[in-house]
Structure 1
Amino acid sequence: MKNSNQAIDVTRAQYAAIRAWLQGVAAVDVADRWLSADPDIEWTESLALRALRAIRATLAQLALRHEQEALASLLATGPRSTTALNQVLAGLRRLEELGTPAPATKHDVRLWFAAPLARRLQAAGVATLGELMTLANDLGRAWWRRVPRIGPAAAATIVRTLATAEATLGRLGAHVTGVSLPAALPSPELVPHAGRAVPLEAIRLPAALDGRAGINRGDINRCRIDALNDYQAIQTWLSLWPAGGHTWRAYRKEAERCLAWAILERGKAFSDLLTDDCLAYRAFLAQKDFGPRWSGPQVARTLPGWRPFQGPLSTRSRAYAEQVLAALCEWLVGRRYLDSNPWDGMPALRVAALDIDIERAVPPAVWQALQPWLDAQAADDVRWRTIRAAVLLLHDSGMRVFEAAGAERSGLRPAGGDGPLWGELRIVGKRTKTRMVPISRRAHDALVAHWRDLGDEHAAEGPLLAPAEPCTSPRALAKAADGRRGYSDRGLRHLVTRAGEAFRAHLEQTDPDLRAQAIHLHPHAFRHAFGTAGAEAGVPLDVRQSYLGHASPATSAIYDKAGARRRQREVAKLFSV
């Protein structure tokens, strides 16, 4: 017999052994006659019973796979009457003729996987093999992260089991198995009131709703862009920004949501939308639950499980969406692709002015605990040495994450001496403005260790931070083919955020009180820590503004406001007298 997640093979000798045992032959005699592969083995009563019970349990599971629930129940409990015994014996004869069935989508996961593994799948809402196939194909190779207490080894076993049953379960995609498959068919056209939303790059507009004949189209003879339909017009607008950049991704997200919504929910082309439709879209964005066709967990855009929303939107996010779409329509009006802007005259959503929240800075006590923990993690781990360099760099320079991701070694400027400041780094920040940021000696030492892991410690060119271990994801391979070695801002943010999660998990076990303070450990929290520490240390305002890259000194002065820690420290003096 094999493990429960594979085909069950029961030999004729094992069938004969279980029949004899059920009819009253002593367990030891049964084992000696039918189960002894080794002539020198000495069967005891306990060993024989253990072997026979294992065969009986296996046959009960096989009966369930063949949908023979009555036989499975009798095998599990044991026949307690002559009638029941005869039913079991007849059932075993039928079972032997049927053999091992192929996995089916309706099969319970308990029929194909060991009990602990099946329980974990069921706890995550995965009851059948069909639901397991859907989960894996929707979320890709990291699907198992959605199932608590299942690791990559167990996930690989599950994937192998599902892949070998392709004839009856269907095909697992290459994004799950890693095995190249024939080119996928293009996404189907969007159909009003049916199907689901797809990413912009996968959208196919139906001919009747592609915008060529939109009621809000401008004079086609005076159009200033070479766009025949709404999809091409939106792509032209997006091309104004560098592809893949933060602004481009943010604008693409709002455009693809609205384009898909117009067709799927309103049955209209984007260039058919009127102000009434804009009001309806405002109401749509204000929903608390978008439903499964629109909302789902955050996964790669290339996966079938991708959805435009991951949950309800804040008022600020909804206001931002309307601003982006109004700007898009205004630009298309200026290009004479649209006749008018349907967002004109819409009262703007009222949103409180955004201010820097200095309370989101990494607290000093957390930072003091984080440093030695990072050192310990990095002692014998290449990846953690990369993380330590990134965290120290962000905390000690005040850079934004996209600035750190784009920083180059050629921008380093040593200051000389052996003090805590190693020097400065020239970077390109917001609005493509260049500025200098400080590089502490400890951050520089961590960077040197990171470069040593990369094998180019003394190189004068190249990214400040780069993955030390090769990645085989399609995105990473495409970057390597283009000659790009460093992190993207998303990749660096993910690296630091995951490290923060690991540190919080460590504090839960070692210092629950400090864990309560370690709420913000994302990249921007380290920038806030730099600004707050600079204000408390008395660094002049103009120096802080220069390093932080704020357009106005008033923004840098926000860090001069008393934070909670400073307020509590100062007011405590009142009660000590």
Structure 2
Amino acid sequence: MRDNDLQRLCRDASALDIPPASRRGSRLSPKGSALSERSSGSSETAGRAGGKVAREGSTGVLYVHKLGRQHFAYLRSIGEGLDMHEAASRYLGVEHGHSTLAAHRQVVDKLRGLCRRGGKKDWRLIGLAIRSGTVSEAPPLEEWAEANNLSDWRYEELLPMYQEAFPPDRKEKRNARLRERQIALLKELESQAEQKPQPTDLISGWFDDVTSARLKQSGMLMVGELQAAIARGGRWWSSIPAIGQGKADRIEKYLVTLCGELPKPQGVQRMAEIARSLASSAPMQAINATPTALPSPTLPALPARQPSADLADLEGRWGPNRATPVPSGTSASNDKEAIEAWVRARAGSELTAKSYRREAQRLLFWCETERKKALSSMNVEDCLAYMAFLQFIPPAFISRRGAPRFDIEQGWRPFAGQLSHDSQRQAIVICAAFFAWAVSASYLVANPWVLVNRKTGDKPLELISSRAFTEGAWASVRGFLEAAPPSPTRSRTIFIMDFGEGTGLRAAEMLSTRLDAFQPLRSRWVLKVQGKGSKNRVIAVPSQAVAALNRYLQERKLRPLGEAPPETPLVASAVDDNQGVGYRALYESTKSWFRRAIMASNLEGIERTTAYKASLHWLRHTCGTRALERGVPLAMVQEQLGHKDPRQTMKYSKTQLEALLDGMDKAFKG
């Protein structure tokens, strides 16, 4: 039975800050609420053991919502008189005002159900906004005493007269008692029913159904995965459907309410310091094929080595492996300067310089953040650890797509993704080369890489090249392009396919080529190419490639090969026919055409799955495969493609494997 105070409170409309009970049976959509459930409006069915199972009708997925400290904070704020919409937004993550009432009812029903099952008679106090019945206009005691010339009276004498002059409001006293009971009840329930979010908890247990479903679509199922994604920084929400900057901010704030401040990934602070240092360094001078003489620098004195092991030098200004500079060495005084000096001295092209700098800086990041030591202080154990690290790059070192370079807060990291076998091998070779140069330049005493086995073993066996178009896939793509409406990118893609299949040029070689690189030879054409490592070669341009180029030039409103302006780029921008195109734009455009063509094709099974991965580089593999299949000698194909090792060219040959299959089929017929 209700006590008298509670009966009077429930009859007193001035004590409540929620809609009348007569509206209790109405159903409001819970979309946007961080606690949205399918509420039945019955206290008896509300959450068991602090949780409630709600079914998402569209997908049949079960969500178990849990009681956390945010729910009790919400109810305390309601009891204090905070506006319901503001409280729901702050503590429950409610986005839309129309969802506030539904979220409020779900929380209240859940806790009232717990109270009733526990036999607590004050269960109706849950969710009530208890406020003063009247506003007291009594002045402070000191002001009243001074106004009545009673300042010299003692407090014990003044108090009875003050209370007689300003008697306390009976309703206010009653509400104060009920407020104390409400707070005590919430504290008791919180100690019994509060659940703390764990990294392994399902996101659906703490967020509303709609948000949980969207996060699930992006691959995030557990609270820890969401925490890690947010902690990495950047536009973590960009791949999640229907979540933008505003919604992402609310999710982050709500997650902080649930779990406290998000933990930063290990080493991210130091990574940010390194990134700022590298970003603020002066850009490297342009690298020319012909080196120019530089003035001899004045060598600085080497800082005294620090005897204390506690004073870690992460810049590499001193250390056990640092050598004293000599006039014939480098003027670099720390590891960052040594990397730049090495790139200037050894890189023969901008492309090589980019590769050298990238691998050395990756090693620098890893040393300082993971091993807590300078790059120049690496030893044998560090070299082995880095080789193991390259086999599986942790997520904390993988960059968000599109993040600005060196911007750690926006999610940039040293690695774009997991490394292939060839990329791992190249990284180790480049890092070892830097240490060898540093020893020769008297920057380091010894090279630890010569003391370890740097062999990475054979790459996973490829019986044949899987990155060459089959005849069926080639016909499907060409047919799709021919039927597509005319456009600059369509014309460019058709040209790229025919010219790339006929010449086998790398994408970078195509982009750097102008028409003046073509030379006539007895009514045919050859092309001067500067390939990898700034090495020059002359390749044949077969009639298929010449015809494709002349068609492409005609569509660009230019004269044919030999008559067009010599400075004309081989591959043009879709906006300006006289301007070249960047690699990223060409890659994305070509890959988009390939994917659309394969999706519209009649290819089936593994052929369709494989062809869907096609990219710009596949044209080079297709050239090598077609040439070997049609009887071109291996040495000629090797020279055309610019391979150092004939074994690399042999990857494109299927002849030996097909002969093996024919022989075994004859011996073992089914």
**Equivalent residue, structure 2, for 1:372:** 479
State the one-letter code of the partner of 1:271. Answer: S
1:227 to 307, 332, 342: 332
Report the structure number with the largest CA radius of gyration.
Answer: 2
Higher normalized helix content (fraction of residues): 1
- Output aligned runs, 1:524-539, within 5 Å: 524-539=617-632
Is residue 2:408 matched to residue 1:407? no
**Secondary structure class of the residue paired with 2:581:** coil
Structure 1 residue 191 displacement after superposition:
12
**Secondary structure class of the residue paired with 1:213:** coil
**Equivalent residue, structure 1, for 2:354:** 249
Structure 1 residue 323 displacement after superposition:
2.1
Structure 1 residue 229 displacement after superposition:
0.9
Is residue 2:173 matched to residue 1:210? no
Is residue 2:328 matched to residue 1:327? no
Distance 1:191 1:144 in 2: 20
**Equivalent residue, structure 2, for 1:123:** 217
Deviations 1:240-282 (A, max 9, x none): 4669944333323321222122222222111222233323333
Asked if the contact 1:389/1:443 (under 8 Å) is kept, the reply is yes
Distance 1:524 1:23 in 2: 65
Asked if the contact 2:501/2:620 (under 8 Å) is kept, the reply is yes
Is residue 2:530 matched to residue 1:428? yes
Unaligned runs of 5+ in 2: 1-18, 45-76, 101-206, 256-263, 282-310
Asked if the contact 2:514/2:567 (under 8 Å) is kept, the reply is yes
- Output aligned runs, 1:67-82, within 5 Å: 76-78=39-41
Structure 1 residue 547 displacement after superposition:
2.6
Asked if the contact 2:229/2:236 (under 8 Å) is kept, the reply is no
Asked if the contact 2:364/2:375 (under 8 Å) is kept, the reply is yes
Asked if the contact 1:225/1:337 (under 8 Å) is kept, the reply is yes
State the one-letter code of the partner of 2:507. Answer: V
Asked if the contact 1:497/1:522 (under 8 Å) is kept, the reply is yes
Is residue 2:93 matched to residue 1:107? yes
Asked if the contact 1:121/1:127 (under 8 Å) is kept, the reply is yes
Structure 1 residue 234 displacement after superposition:
0.8
State the one-letter code of the partner of 2:530. Answer: V
1:281 to 380, 386, 389: 386
State the one-letter code of the partner of 1:426. Answer: K
Asked if the contact 1:224/1:336 (under 8 Å) is kept, the reply is yes
Is residue 2:582 matched to residue 1:487? yes
State the one-letter code of the partner of 1:119. Answer: A
1:348 to 454, 458, 471: 454
Asked if the contact 1:408/1:464 (under 8 Å) is kept, the reply is yes
Asked if the contact 1:212/1:229 (under 8 Å) is kept, the reply is yes
Asked if the contact 1:197/1:308 (under 8 Å) is kept, the reply is no
State the one-letter code of the partner of 1:436. Answer: I
Distance 2:480 2:217 in 1: 33
- Output aligned runs, 1:150-229, within 5 Å: 150=241, 154=242, 158-159=244-245, 195=269, 197=271, 202-203=276-277, 208-222=313-327, 224-229=329-334
Distance 2:382 2:222 in 1: 41
Distance 1:484 1:105 in 2: 56
Are the structure 2 counterparts of residues 238 and 365 from structure 1 closer, same or farther at C-alpha, using a change threshold of 3 Å? same
2:641 to 540, 548, 561: 548
Distance 1:199 1:440 in 2: 51
State the one-letter code of the partner of 2:500. Answer: L
Are the structure 2 counterparts of residues 192 and 557 from structure 1 closer, same or farther at C-alpha, using a change threshold of 3 Å? closer
Asked if the contact 2:234/2:412 (under 8 Å) is kept, the reply is no
Name which of structure 1's ranges 297-306 and 262-271 shifts more when overlaid on structure 2: 297-306
Asked if the contact 1:386/1:450 (under 8 Å) is kept, the reply is no
Deviations 1:85-129 (A, max 9, x none): xxxxxx999999444579669837897999767623343256899
Distance 2:621 2:538 in 1: 18
**Equivalent residue, structure 2, for 1:260:** 365
**Secondary structure class of the residue paired with 1:426:** strand
**Secondary structure class of the residue paired with 2:93:** coil
State the one-letter code of the partner of 2:581. Answer: G
**Secondary structure class of the residue paired with 1:336:** coil
Structure 1 residue 573 displacement after superposition:
8.0
Structure 1 residue 560 displacement after superposition:
5.4
State the one-letter code of the partner of 2:381. Answer: D
1:440 to 505, 530, 545: 545
Structure 1 residue 444 displacement after superposition:
1.8
Structure 1 residue 348 displacement after superposition:
3.0
Deviations 1:423-452 (A, max 9, x none): 544322234203134262553256337635
**Secondary structure class of the residue paired with 2:318:** coil
Asked if the contact 2:465/2:651 (under 8 Å) is kept, the reply is no
Distance 1:105 1:372 in 2: 58
Structure 1 residue 565 displacement after superposition:
5.7
2:376 to 260, 271, 274: 271
Distance 1:141 1:381 in 2: 33
Distance 2:233 2:499 in 1: 33
Distance 1:537 1:573 in 2: 24
Deviations 1:138-195 (A, max 9, x none): 68679634x3xx3xxx56xx236668x899799xxxxxxxxxxxxxxxxxxx999664
Distance 2:24 2:371 in 1: 70
Structure 1 residue 531 displacement after superposition:
1.8
**Secondary structure class of the residue paired with 1:144:** coil
Asked if the contact 2:528/2:536 (under 8 Å) is kept, the reply is no
**Secondary structure class of the residue paired with 2:528:** strand
Distance 2:634 2:486 in 1: 41
Are the structure 2 counterparts of residues 138 and 466 from structure 1 closer, same or farther at C-alpha, using a change threshold of 3 Å? farther
Asked if the contact 2:356/2:430 (under 8 Å) is kept, the reply is yes
Give the TM-score of the pair, scaled to structure 1: 0.63
State the one-letter code of the partner of 2:475. Answer: Q
Structure 1 residue 222 displacement after superposition:
4.0
**Equivalent residue, structure 2, for 1:521:** 614
Distance 2:551 2:356 in 1: 36
Structure 1 residue 353 displacement after superposition:
8.2
Asked if the contact 1:316/1:351 (under 8 Å) is kept, the reply is no
Distance 1:192 1:133 in 2: 13
Are the structure 2 counterparts of residues 263 and 401 from structure 1 closer, same or farther at C-alpha, using a change threshold of 3 Å? same
